[in-house]
């Protein structure tokens, strides 16, 4: 049977070990504070969701040992860590450094980084969320900061035996193309910075660098100022030399306020469109969307009927797509996005249903 890499995103907020996390979650347990206090907004709204493994600190090696065992035994063999850099230093990096990388069984998994270079704002703080999402930290990085980031991830992570490689090249994903280009000062400056990043990877002994863009659909961008020279996302990705593209969440490119099976019709059409851009496209499966746990008032836009049975249909479709297009990586949102209601970890509603679906499709 063909081997597939099933890569689940990890949102590293479930710890109080990073002192700066107290800005958003003052109880000292990270975003578990929000998960515990989630309230249903209407009849039939199944909140709060309760993690069957408990509200454990994911910057503890024992916690990640348990999760690695669960993931690897069900067919999830790659974690994509959301990785943050705000105000000239990393944020929430302890979940990777002290949790995953100190786990005794970490060799059962691979991991790679997705630089989540979006702004950090009031959305993470339930006391303030609901109005304007005022930035607390900007996700922009100028060239000096970019070089520090490139040096850090190259030296600290790329050579680890658990780091995920494609054709001998470490995979590094970037979430927000707009912030990347705006921070570096334009297309040409960004290309220069990324070329330098590749050179660092080669000097560190790798065959190169597989740069992966997180695609928010095929959007139109203008980075040239008043002359209005518009560029599509796919054109920008090719200009900058990205090697592959995938997605982070359905909500970024389709209307999710519907039944899951209806949404999947549009998602599958988007997969084919993304694959036509001339870059390697890895199909993406989202498990759900409902970010009401982060807000005191009701937030519209909920992906409905996302049962394990319907998720299994989406996984089969992704597997079929991967076979047709000759790719072996499928990304999943996510391992633990409890406050966006999109997670593989077992809960009080479906148990291990989502993990069992992955196991049936890719292992049995």
Q: What is the pLDDT of residues 28-85, one digit of tens each?
A: 999 999 999 999 999 999 999 999 999 999 999 999 999 999 999 999 999 999 999 9
**Residue matched to tokens 């019709």:** 265
Neighbours of 132 (CB within 10 A): 9
pLDDT of 164 reads: 98
Rounded Cα gap, residues 331 and 254, in angstroms: 17
Going by their DSSP bridges, the two strands 120-121 and 5-10 should be labelled as unpaired
Q: Characterize 311-348 residue by residue with b for buried, 16 or more Cβ atoms within 10 angstroms of its Cβ, and e for exposed.
A: bbebbebbbebbeeeebebbbbbbbbbbbbbbbbbbbe
Q: How confident is the model at residue 253 (pLDDT cuts 50, 70, 90)?
A: very high
> Residue 99 corresponds to which tokens in the numbers above?
């949790």
Secondary structure (H, E, C), the chain: CCCCEEEEEECCCCCCCCHHHHHCCCCCCCCHHHHHCCCCCCCCCCCCCCECCCCCCCCCHHHHHHHHHHHHHCCCCEEEEEEEEECCEEECCHHHHHHHHHCCCHHHCEEEEEECCCCEEHHHCCCCCCCCCCEEECCCCCHHHHHHHHHHHHHHCCCCCCECEECCEEEEEECCHHHHHHHHCCHHHHHHHHHHHHHHHHHCCCCCCEEEEECCCCCEEECCHHHCCEEEHHHHHHHHCCCEEECCCHHHCCCCCCEHHHHHHHHHHHHHHHHCCCCEECCEEECCCCCHHHCCCCCCCCCECCCHHHHHHHHHHHHHHHHHHCCCEEEEECCCEHHHCECCCCECCCECHHHHHHHHHHCC
pLDDT of 1 reads: 41
| Residue 270 pLDDT greater than 90, yes or no | yes
| Residue 219 pLDDT greater than 90, yes or no | no
pLDDT of 199 reads: 98
> Residue 32 corresponds to which tokens in the numbers above?
């578990």
Nearest residue to 172 via CA among 148, 192, 189, 194: 194
Quote the distance between the C-alpha of residue 252 and its chain's center: 12
CATH 3.20.20.80 fits 5-362, yes or no: yes
What phi and psi, each to the nearest 5 degrees, are found at residue 9?
-70, 145
| Residue 250 pLDDT greater than 60, yes or no | yes
What is the Cβ-side half-sphere exposure of residue 15, based on CA atoms within 13 angstroms? Answer: 24
Rounded Cα gap, residues 358 and 333, in angstroms: 13
For the segment 281-317, what is each residue's pLDDT rounded down to a tens digit?
Answer: 999 999 999 999 999 999 999 999 999 999 999 999 9
pTM above the 0.75 mark? yes
pLDDT of 224 reads: 66
| Residue 2 pLDDT greater than 60, yes or no | no
Rounded Cα gap, residues 208 and 193, in angstroms: 15
Per the CB < 8 A criterion, the answer to whether 21 and 90 are in contact is no
Neighbours of 188 (CB within 10 A): 12
Nearest residue to 100 via CA among 88, 89, 113, 91: 113
Per the CB < 8 A criterion, the answer to whether 354 and 307 are in contact is no
């Amino acid at each position: 049977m063909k081997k597939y890499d099933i890569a689940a995103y990890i949102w590293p907020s479930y710890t109080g070990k990073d002192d700066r996390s107290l800005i958003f979650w003052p109880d000292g347990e990270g975003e578990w504070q929000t998960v515990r206090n989630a309230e249903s907004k209407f009849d039939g709204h199944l909140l709060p969701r309760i993690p069957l493994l408990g509200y454990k600190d994911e910057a503890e090696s024992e916690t990640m040992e348990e999760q690695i065992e669960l993931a690897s035994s069900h067919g999830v063999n790659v974690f994509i860590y959301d990785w943050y850099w705000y105000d000239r230093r990393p944020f929430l990096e302890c979940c990777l450094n002290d949790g995953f990388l100190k786990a005794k069984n970490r060799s059962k998994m691979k991991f790679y980084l997705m630089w989540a270079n979006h702004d950090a704002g009031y959305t993470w703080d339930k006391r303030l969320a609901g109005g304007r999402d005022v930035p607390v930290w900007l996700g922009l990085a100028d060239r000096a900061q970019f070089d520090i980031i490139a040096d850090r991830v190259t030296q600290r992570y790329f050579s680890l035996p658990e780091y995920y490689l494609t054709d001998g090249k470490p995979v590094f994903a970037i979430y927000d193309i707009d912030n990347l280009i705006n921070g570096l000062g334009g297309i040409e400056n960004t290309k220069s910075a990324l070329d330098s990043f590749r050179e660092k990877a080669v000097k560190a002994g790798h065959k190169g660098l597989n740069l992966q863009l997180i695609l928010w659909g095929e959007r139109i961008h203008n980075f040239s100022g008043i002359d209005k020279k518009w560029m599509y996302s796919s054109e920008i990705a090719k200009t900058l030399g990205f090697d592959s593209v995938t997605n982070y969440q359905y909500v970024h490119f389709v209307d999710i306020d519907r039944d899951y099976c209806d949404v999947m019709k549009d998602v599958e059409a988007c997969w084919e469109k993304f694959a036509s851009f001339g870059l390697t496209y890895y199909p993406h499966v989202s498990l759900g969307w409902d970010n009401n746990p982060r807000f005191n008032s009701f937030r519209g836009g909920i992906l409905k009927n996302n049962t394990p049975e319907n998720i299994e249909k989406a996984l089969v479709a992704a597997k079929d797509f991967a076979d047709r297009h000759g790719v072996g990586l499928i990304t999943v949102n996510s391992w633990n996005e409890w406050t966006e209601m999109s997670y593989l970890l077992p809960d009080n509603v479906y148990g291990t249903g989502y993990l069992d679906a992955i196991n049936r499709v890719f292992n049995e």
